[in-house]
């Protein structure tokens, strides 16, 4: 590829994520979080009484809980003012539950997701695709052959009404209750949109299901909820993408993901998040895995002013397994605090955590992890590997692993490496005809290969391009 072609591709990729549209909303809440705002959201969605009551209970819990400030080395949240965040914006879309025909969307929303590649991705290799704009899912579609097998893929607002018994059982009950942390309580009060995925027993969805979440308006919060229930013997790969344009005031993303992996089921959850550098990204993601079930987390975190994200898996059943592959990138003024949590609560369970981080221009990355092996979880095993790559002396990378081992008959391994891009490696590649920038790009590409090889090709290419742009200071 010529340098002109590379520059053109680079500019095009940057433009896809940095553009924004003028806001056109049908309903917009006041700033801040009050009981009136919570009731407005529930009323605008025409929710049943039981969901409204759950929101109000979560709001009370939110009010009673302090902001998290006592974690060693955690990102600074002092600039985040919830009273300046608009928690709910419903875009001006005719059908309240979204549409399943792309042509029914307003032109400006079509244009936004066309630029982000959503229709293209759907045409290529997806079983279903959903798109959320501001607080609402505006488009959702599932291939008929999977619907015929009983697979359900719809937005959460619709699921509350169409599948109330399933939602009542699983929504913020045993997996992520609002009492878990302050931002889980905030989410429980003002959640909006997100995805509901239900896979019946022994059904394998052979192609990925995708959702894309776009925050377009300045000073808003996005609180999508994803609920995945994979019945015994089933299998699904869910992919999530997130982005927001850059603004002068802060935005907040506080989503929640709950995954239930039943006996001998397999769920892979992949996400590529590219928030703007004015966004606080504070999420709660958790899975509960039963006998011989398998959970896989694959995530790339970049952009954002501060990120606190630690996908958690509870290995509840004998023989359950869990895998985490994560990459974090922090540039100037960014604090990306990510990691993983695994609870081995049954015998013969196993987990693997592989964390990669890159920091440059004074940015900070931190791996914060917890592995707990309960008394009686004998013959369990875990392996944790943390690798950090720094571009300069101003950047920092920390590793904070916690191991709580209550059972003696287990296998535990932990390894961590921190280093700078070596002059010898760069020199070697330059001797093979690459310039300095291309040599560093190749080193980074090799460094992050474990995550890119787990993604479908179009997402792997996208992740590589985004990291290259971050390396060159092209975004934000």
DSSP codes of every residue in 277-321: TTEEEE-EEEEEE-TT-EEEEEEEEEESSEEEE--EEEE-STT-E
**Of the candidates 46, 60, 32, the residue with the CA atom closest to the CA atom of residue 189:** 60
Q: What is the predicted pLDDT for the residue at 135?
A: 44
Contacts 24+ apart (CB under 8 A), 453-457: 454/270, 454/296, 454/298, 454/325, 455/239, 455/270, 455/272, 455/298, 456/125, 456/208, 456/239
Residue range 434-439: average pLDDT?
Answer: 77
CA angle 152, 92, 141 (to 5 degrees): 20
Q: Are 126 and 179 in contact (CB under 8 A)?
A: no
Q: Which of residues 30 and 248 earns the better pLDDT score?
A: 30
The DSSP output letter for 407 is -
Q: What is the predicted pLDDT for the residue at 455?
A: 66
How far, rounded to the nearest angstrom, does the alpha carbon of residue 38 sit from its chain's CA centroid? 24
Q: What is the predicted pLDDT for the residue at 230?
A: 98
Q: Are 97 and 138 in contact (CB under 8 A)?
A: no
Alpha carbons 458 and 317: distance in angstroms, whole number: 35
**pLDDT one-digit tens code per residue, 180-190:** 999 999 999 99
**pLDDT one-digit tens code per residue, 376-393:** 999 999 999 998 888 888
Q: What is the predicted pLDDT for the residue at 6?
A: 46
**pLDDT one-digit tens code per residue, 447-469:** 777 667 766 665 666 666 666 66
Residue range 77-84: average pLDDT?
Answer: 90
Q: Band of the pLDDT at 15, cuts 50, 70, 90?
A: very low
Sign of CA dihedral 66, 70, 75, 79: positive
420, two tokens: 């700078």
What angle, rounded to 10 degrees, do the helices at 423-430 and 436-447 form? 120
Q: What is the predicted pLDDT for the residue at 462?
A: 62
Looking at the predicted structure, is the pLDDT value of residue 73 above 50? Answer: yes
Q: Torsions phi, psi of 65, nearest 5?
A: -100, 140
Q: What is the predicted pLDDT for the residue at 313?
A: 98
Residue range 211-234: average pLDDT?
Answer: 80
Q: Are 417 and 435 in contact (CB under 8 A)?
A: no
Q: Band of the pLDDT at 440, cuts 50, 70, 90?
A: confident
Q: What is the predicted pLDDT for the residue at 12?
A: 46
284 forms beta bridges with 256
Percent of the chain scoring above 90 in pLDDT: 43
Q: Which of residues 134 and 241 earns the better pLDDT score?
A: 241
Looking at the predicted structure, is the pLDDT value of residue 421 above 80? Answer: no
Residue range 58-70: average pLDDT?
Answer: 92
Q: 92's torsion region: left (phi>0), alpha (psi -120 to 50) or beta?
A: beta
Alpha carbons 302 and 363: distance in angstroms, whole number: 11
437, two tokens: 């920038």
Place of tokens 């520059």: 7
Q: Which helix (H) or strand (E) holds 14?
A: helix 3-18
How far lies 291's CA from each of 175, 266, 350, in Å?
17, 11, 12
Length of the chain: 476
**pLDDT one-digit tens code per residue, 388-409:** 888 888 888 888 989 999 999 9
Looking at the predicted structure, is the pLDDT value of residue 149 above 80? Answer: yes
Alpha carbons 473 and 360: distance in angstroms, whole number: 10
**pLDDT one-digit tens code per residue, 160-206:** 999 999 999 999 999 999 999 999 999 999 998 888 999 999 999 88
**pLDDT one-digit tens code per residue, 124-143:** 444 445 444 444 443 445 44
Give SS3 for 72.
coil
285, two tokens: 């993601």
Q: What is the predicted pLDDT for the residue at 103?
A: 56
Q: What is the predicted pLDDT for the residue at 267?
A: 98
Q: Which of residues 289 and 328 earns the better pLDDT score?
A: 289
Q: What is the predicted pLDDT for the residue at 295?
A: 98
Q: Band of the pLDDT at 99, cuts 50, 70, 90?
A: very low
E-only strand ranges, 206-265: 209-214, 221-222, 225-230, 235-243, 251-253, 256-261
């Amino acid at each position: 590829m010529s340098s002109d072609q590379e520059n053109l591709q680079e500019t095009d990729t940057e433009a896809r994520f940095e553009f924004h549209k003028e806001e056109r909303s049908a309903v917009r809440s006041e700033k801040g979080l009050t009981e009136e705002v919570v009731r407005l959201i529930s009323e605008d969605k025409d929710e049943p009484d039981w969901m409204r009551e759950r929101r109000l209970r979560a709001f009370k819990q939110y009010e009673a809980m302090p902001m998290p400030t006592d974690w060693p080395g955690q990102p600074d949240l002092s600039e985040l003012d919830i009273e300046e965040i608009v928690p709910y914006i419903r875009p001006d879309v005719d059908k309240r539950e979204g549409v399943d025909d792309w042509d029914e969307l307003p032109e400006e929303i079509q244009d936004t997701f066309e630029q982000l590649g959503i229709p293209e991705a759907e045409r290529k290799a997806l079983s279903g695709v959903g798109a959320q704009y501001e607080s609402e899912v505006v488009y959702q579609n599932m291939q008929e052959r999977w619907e015929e097998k009983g697979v359900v893929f719809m937005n959460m607002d619709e699921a509350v009404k169409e599948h109330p018994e399933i939602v009542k059982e699983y929504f913020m009950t045993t997996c992520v209750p609002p009492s878990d942390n302050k931002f889980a309580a905030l989410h429980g009060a003002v959640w909006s949109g997100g995805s509901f995925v239900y896979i019946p027993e022994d059904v394998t969805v052979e192609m990925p299901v995708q959702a894309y979440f776009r925050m377009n308006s300045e000073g808003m919060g996005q609180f999508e909820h994803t609920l995945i229930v994979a019945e015994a013997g089933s299998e699904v790969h869910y992919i999530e993408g997130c982005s927001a344009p850059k603004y002068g005031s802060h935005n907040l993303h506080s989503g929640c993901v709950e995954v239930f992996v039943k006996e001998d089921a397999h769920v892979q959850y992949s996400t590529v998040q590219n928030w703007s550098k004015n966004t606080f990204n504070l999420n709660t993601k958790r899975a509960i895995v039963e006998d011989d079930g398998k959970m896989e987390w694959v995530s790339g975190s970049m952009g954002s002013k501060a990120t606190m994200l630690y996908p958690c898996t509870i290995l509840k059943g004998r023989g359950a397994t869990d895998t985490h592959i994560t990459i974090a990138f922090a540039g100037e003024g960014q604090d990306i605090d990510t990691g993983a949590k695994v609870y081995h609560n049954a015998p013969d369970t196993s987990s693997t955590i592989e964390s990669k981080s890159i920091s440059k221009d004074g940015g900070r990355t931190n791996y914060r992890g917890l592995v707990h092996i309960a008394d009686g979880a004998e013959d369990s095993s875990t392996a944790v590997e943390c690798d950090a790559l720094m571009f300069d002396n101003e950047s920092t990378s920390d590793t904070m692993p916690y191991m709580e081992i209550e059972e003696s008959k287990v296998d535990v391994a932990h390894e961590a490496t921190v280093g700078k891009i070596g002059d010898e490696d760069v020199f070697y590649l330059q001797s093979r005809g690459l310039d300095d920038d291309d040599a560093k790009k190749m080193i980074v590409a090799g460094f992050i290969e474990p995550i890119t090889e787990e993604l479908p090709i179009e997402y792997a290419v996208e992740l590589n391009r985004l990291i290259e742009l971050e390396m060159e200071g092209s975004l934000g």
